[in-house]
Amino acid sequence: MKYILAVLVDNRPGVLTHVAGLISRRAFNIESIAAGYTEEPDVTRINVVVSVDDEIELEQVVNQLNKLIDVIKIVNLTRIDSIQRELVMIKVKANPATRSDIINVVEIFRAKIVDVNRETMVIELTGEQSKIDALCEVLADYEIIEIARTGAIALSRGPIPAKNI
């Protein structure tokens, strides 16, 4: 089972070492991790997608992370109504013969072409993980050169921010 957690941390030096160190020490299975600034300058939001066998294992992850002094709050956004997004950029081989096919695929997925040259294209897509996986699968037919993904981030629906949940 995969869960997405919003981990609000004090924006201090060493905080990423502490979070990464804990994950490695406790042998937790992390699918992705994405960190960035928030509306409060001294708070960083780390979005963690964790893969666990059951709820008890999830509870362990949350409780262990909560013990870190820099961790202010953890919200399990899978449990509440929330929006999840990930950004991907895919560099794919595109010659004059395949270019229009790829453009078709891009349109179907409502993706964007952000770079084109004689041999390749870079396609950008924002969406849920499953949609990104599907696009990657289709583009594999045209030979993908490289992929950069951000890892998932999530936000709850409605007016209440994670820090107040």
Partner 1 sequence: MKINGAQAVIESLKNEDVDVVFGYPGGAVLTLYDALYKSEFPHILTKHEQGAVHAADGYARVTGKVGVCIATSGPGGTNLITGIATANMDSIPLVCITGQVGTPLIGKDSFQEADMCGITTPITKHNYLVKKVADLPRVLKEAFYIARTGRPGPVVIDIAKDVFAAELEYRYPDTVNLKGYSGNFTGENQEIDAVLEVIQDAKKPLIFVGGGVVLSDTAECLQKIIAKTGIPVISSLMGLGAVPATYEANLGMVGMHGTYAANIATMECDALIGIGVRFDDRVTGIVEQFAPLAKIIQFDIDAAEINKNVRVDYKVVGDLRWSMPEVTEKLTKITTDLKAQYQAWREYVIAMNKETPLSYNKEATCIMPQQVIEVVSKLTDDDAIVVTDVGQHQMWTAQFYQFLKSRSFVTSGGLGTMGYGLPAALGAKFAKPEKTVVLFSGDGSIMMNCQELATAADYGINVKVIVMNNHVLGMVSQWQRMFYGKRYSQSKLNGKTDYVKLAEAMGVHGLRVTEPEKLEEVLKQALAIDGPVLVDVLLPEVEDVLPMVPSGGRLDQMVLGANQE
Site string for partner 1, 98-137 (x = CB under 8 A): ----------------------------------------
Nearest 5°: the CA angle 158, 1, 133 is 80
Q: Which is nearer to partner 1, 67 or 157 (CB)?
A: 67
24 near partner 1, rule: CB under 8 A: yes
Decide whether 13 or 159 has the Cβ nearer to partner 1.
Answer: 13
Sheet strand arrangement including 30-37: 30-37, 43-51, 2-10, 71-76
Assess contact for 63 and 56: CB atoms under 8 A.
no
Nearer to partner 1, 47 or 129 (CB): 47
- 67 is a contact residue toward partner 1 (CB under 8 A): yes
- List of E strands, the chain: 2-10, 30-37, 43-51, 71-76, 82-93, 112-116, 120-127, 144-149, 153-156
Interface with partner 1 (CB under 8 A), residue total: 24
Q: Which of 29, 60, 95, 104 binds partner 1 (CB under 8 A)?
A: 60
**Rounded Cα gap, residues 6 and 153, in angstroms:** 8
In the complex, the residues that contact partner 1 under the rule CB under 8 A are 9-10, 13-14, 17-18, 21-22, 24-25, 43, 56, 59-60, 63-64, 66-73
